[in-house]
Each structure stands twice: as structure tokens, then as C-alpha cells.
């Protein structure tokens, strides 16, 4: 399979976590572009290509924070999974919450994965590597992803 650009939507409102995620995902072997939505409403506008986001790409993966201002992560997830056009996009919930109720709610709304956010760059790089192996191996010519 030929390499192609992977488009990742990071839905995150915390600047520190945005920077950590961007740095961690720089090590991806698969060519990628990370797009950031700082709240659930912007994320949905990007996914539905509404308003200022009509030129948004089709996303290959969504990294979705649980606690967002306005439309929260579970509400965004529920919307995505109810739309035939969007339901096949893998959604990885990224949250600082280890609360079992939050985890179960995410899976009940059909999250593909739930990952507790890392505190430092090394931990975030391990998360990025696991995400790449799990979701992007098929996009790479390199079997050593």
C-alpha cells in the first residue's frame, strides 16, 4: 500500500495537552497532519465541514478529550457514532479521568479506545506509538511501524 497523508483530529481545550500531543505524534512513521479543535462545537463543524471549516479533510482518527467546554466529549462521540458518514472513524477518548463510570460511558457510546492522558512527553510518545500501531499500520509500507 502506498503511503498517504493521515488526518488526525485532536479535540482538546488544554494548551499543554495540545502541545504534548503534537510533539508526541511527530515521531509517527506514517505521514500525518494533526488538526486541532478546542471545543466540541468546532470539532463537529470540522467533521461536518460547516462554516469556516468547509475545507476540512476527511479524518482518519479522532483523539477526543472527555471534558470540553460547551459540547462535551461524550456528546461529540455520540453524535459521531450516530451518523453513518462519520461512524466508521475511529475515536480514541483521551482523558485525565480514571473514573470507571467515564470509561464505561465512553465505551457505551462506542468509543474505539479509552486512554488516560500522560503527564510527560515520554509517556505521551508511548501513547502515540500505540495509536500508530493500532490504527495506522495499514497506511504504511513499513512493517516496522
Q: Strand, helix or coil at 93?
A: strand
- Distance, CA of 16 to CA of 25 (rounded, Å): 14
What are the sequence ranges of the domains in the chain? 6-139
Q: How confident is the model over 71-100, as pLDDT tens digits?
A: 999 999 999 999 999 999 999 999 999 999
CA 97 from chain centre, in angstroms, equals: 16
For the stretch 31-61, pLDDT in tens is 889 999 999 999 999 999 999 999 999 999 9
Backbone torsions φ then ψ of 131, nearest 5 degrees: -65, -45
Residue 40, all three cell numbers: 466540541
Average pLDDT over the chain, rounded to an integer: 89
Q: Is the pLDDT of residue 135 over 90?
A: no
Determine the average pLDDT of the residues in 5-33: 89
pLDDT of residue 121 exceeding 80: yes
CATH of the domain spanning 6-139: 3.40.50.2300
pTM of the model: 0.89
The mean per-residue pLDDT over the stretch 136-142 comes to 56
Amino acid at each position: 500500500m502506498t503511503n498517504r497523508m493521515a488526518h488526525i483530529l485532536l479535540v482538546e481545550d488544554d494548551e499543554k495537552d495540545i502541545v504534548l500531543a503534537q510533539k508526541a505524534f511527530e515521531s509517527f512513521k506514517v505521514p500525518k497532519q494533526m488538526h486541532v479543535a478546542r471545543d466540541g462545537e468546532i470539532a463537529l463543524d470540522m467533521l461536518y465541514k460547516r462554516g469556516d471549516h468547509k475545507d476540512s479533510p476527511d479524518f482518519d482518527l479522532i483523539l477526543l478529550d472527555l471534558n470540553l467546554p460547551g459540547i462535551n466529549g461524550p456528546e461529540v462521540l455520540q453524535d459521531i457514532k450516530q451518523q453513518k458518514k462519520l461512524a466508521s472513524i475511529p475515536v480514541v477518548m483521551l482523558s485525565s479521568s480514571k473514573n470507571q463510570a467515564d470509561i464505561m460511558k465512553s465505551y457505551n457510546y462506542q468509543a474505539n479506545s479509552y486512554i488516560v492522558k500522560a503527564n510527560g512527553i515520554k509517556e505521551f510518545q508511548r501513547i502515540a506509538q500505540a495509536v500508530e500501531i493500532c490504527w495506522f499500520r495499514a497506511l504504511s509500507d513499513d512493517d516496522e511501524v
